Amino acid sequence: MKPLEIALFWVFVAGAMAFFGWTIRQRIATLKAGLPDPRLDRPLERLKGVLVLVFGQQRLLRDPYAGFYHVLIFYGFCVLSLRSLGLILEGLFNWHMTEALGRFGLVYQGTKDLFELLVLVGISLAMARRLFAKPWRVENSKDAWATLSLIAGLMITDLLADGAFIALHAPGWRSWAFASNAVAGLMGHGTGTLVLYKSMWWAHLAILFGFLNFLPYSKHFHVLTSVFNVYFRALEPHKNLKPMDLEADHFGANRIQDFTWKQMLDFYTCVECGRCLEACPTTVTGKPLRPKNFGNDLRHYLSATQLEDMAQDKPVPEDRKLIGGPIPEGSVWNLNQDHSPWTAGQLGGAISSDTIWACTTCGYCEWACPLEISFVDKLVQMRRYLTLEESDFPAEAQIAFKGMERQGNPWNLAQADRAKWSEGLDVPSLADKPAAEYLFWVGCAGSYDAAGQRVSKSLVKLLKAADVSFAILGTEESCTCESARRLGNEYLFQSATEANIEVLKGHGVKKIVTTCPHCFNTLKNEYPDFGGHFDVVHGNELVSELVSKGRIKLEQTVEADLTYHDPCYLSRYNGQVDAPRAILDAIPGVKVTEMEKHGEATQCCGAGGGRMWLEEKLGTRVNHARFEQALETKATTVAVGCPFCNVMLNNAAGETGHESIQTKDVLELAALALK
């Protein structure tokens, strides 16, 4: 290159990098305005996550078509990064890197060409999908088309520039770049080829630096943030919410600066792929909460909030509040809308209260997200603000709160009746049998709900058949207040937790078995944050183990053509999908047909996140949507592993005119199979 060209390139690179540096500095300053959140522990585990999720593309490959073309584009970028560096060095110092690398440079030339062609194949597949077979979750945004076009431009300009360069230096120039050689064969050695080379060289680098500066202002900022977002991910995702300081001056989140820097990084990392929507119970039933749009609204709100306002902790004007009122009457929600109509400045808030209360905390969005973006924690933080600071929560929640606080159960039934279900079953209390191996944590549903009581009795029958030593707390047991926590009432949850842990430690409890996935998750994954460390198993897990060891023999035929509904808090939160199926497989006469959404990809029944106690006023009922999926299997029985799921799906059967479809817990079916 001539000295003038080199000087111009230095100016160009300096200007592009200066603007990029300024942008990134602004983004970092914004993140620093968020609350602290230590994420430097267990570095090897964090690095493993980056290798599996980012470089291994694990979650992206759940969608084979999209995963395939994304792998082509991703690894094409990785391979071509060396080429880009070489072109930049060529422009700055007139130094050809691949030539200087000798034989490795020759091998790289061929590899580079191969991946450029593969990237173009990937781009073609991505464009074809958007044009001819676009999934409902994918938006045909200008942003997406611009990104695909820029990537294609990078590949094409490099092939043309490389081809022209080879043509100009032939036959002496040695190159293994097979595609570029083919392009060179179509060119001569004249001025036109020289002009093409220089124009394509400049065009390639202009696109490269333009793309670099475009990324932070587009949804494809994830190209730069994904590695960091995955590395700093929560290492125990979904399972537990972080305890809230009850001595703090401010509870929950009603300002953007109430989120942590990592939560803000989530806002910047979303690529809007829509995977979080596919089995999101609120999305598929037409509720205002669509995880992707929720995250985007928060990102737009973050961008619209001045750094000075965050740093100086200024009061938020009425028209700039984070949380607004309910969705206005007459609003239409459907699966095909591209954007949430709820934006900062509209109707007094960025996120509507109906959006916040819609969540069932099922965790599908987080399980599906390829970049470890969290949603549940943000929604619960907003609920904490509404509940604890504004006392602004659905009226039905108040009944459940009072019941948990006064009677130790959300049904508000007498605490003295908690162990009535066990009358005549010779079930010992822990006070009478302190050396029992297992404490059977019955839970509120297992104590008061008729269907739950049948499951409690079934587990008792199974444990006795296996000669397992167990006992219950009886009237000493009280609600874990898991629903209260997810409805934002952290104060009630922590009060109940301290009391329950004191009782459990007072009895020297080591092992706990429970039939409720919500109690199971709370006792196993959330109590340790408060000093309660116990070995907790779900009834399905324990019974499956006892069956496999021959201590429980399921010999009685139970004729049942069924489908199994995986509870979110058992399957997705805790990975337990095999145990209930192992029990069902061991029961003579049982035939299982899987629903399309099953295992960890299960769709919620609608009861999680405290929604068990709230009325459902918007869109289709979540339990109806899930029940319809069960009907598609032609099964006559829906098997469950959760008392909440039992209630929701049984209600759906009655409400939709399918009273003949039974809902049975797996443990009930196992008890029927005992001789």
**Residue spans per domain, the chain:** 3-231, 256-327+337-389, 398-518, 560-672
Contact 63, 112 (CB under 8 A): no
Q: Please give the structure tokens belonging to residue 145.
A: 């088309």
CA torsion sign for 544, 546, 549, 552 is negative
Neighbours of 508 (CB within 10 A): 10
3-state secondary structure of 388: helix
Minimum mean pLDDT among 25-34, 94-103, 598-607: which range? Answer: 94-103
At CA 177, angle to CA 174 and CA 182, rounded to 5? 100
HEC letters along 110-152: HHHHHHHHHHHHHHHHHHHHHHHCCCCCCCCCHHHHHHHHHHH
At CA 26, angle to CA 25 and CA 28, rounded to 5? 65
**In whole angstroms, what is the distance from residue 210 CA to residue 207 CA?**
5
Q: How confident is the model at residue 378 (pLDDT cuts 50, 70, 90)?
A: very high
560-672 CATH fold: Rossmann fold (3.40.50)
**In whole angstroms, what is the distance from residue 256 CA to residue 34 CA?**
8
Backbone angles phi, psi at 336, to 5 degrees: -100, 0
Buried b / exposed e along 402-427 (16+ C-beta atoms within 10 A):
ebbbebbbbbbbebeebbebbeeeeb
Alpha helices in 349-488 (DSSP H): 353-358, 364-368, 376-384, 395-407, 443-448, 450-465, 482-486
Q: Considering just the CA atoms, what is the radius of gyration of the chain in Å?
A: 30
pLDDT at position 239, please?
A: 81
Give pLDDT tens digits for 123-155: 999 999 999 988 888 888 888 899 999 999 999
Residue type, 1: M
Minimum mean pLDDT among 298-302, 509-513, 621-625, 658-662: which range? Answer: 298-302
- The pairing of strands 438-441 and 662-665 is unpaired
What is the CATH code for 256-327+337-389?
1.10.1060
3-231 CATH fold: Fumarate Reductase Cytochrome B subunit (1.20.950)
Give pLDDT tens digits for 462-496: 999 999 999 999 999 999 999 999 999 999 999 99
Cis peptide, bond prior to residue 171, ω within 30 of zero: yes
Q: How confident is the model at residue 346 (pLDDT cuts 50, 70, 90)?
A: very low
Residue 262 Cα to chain centre, angstroms: 15
pLDDT above 90 covers what percent of the chain?
78
Burial of 217 (0-12, 13-18, 19+ CB in 10 A): exposed
**In whole angstroms, what is the distance from residue 642 CA to residue 516 CA?**
5
Averaged over 636-655, what is the pLDDT? 97
**In whole angstroms, what is the distance from residue 242 CA to residue 526 CA?**
8
Residue type, 597: K
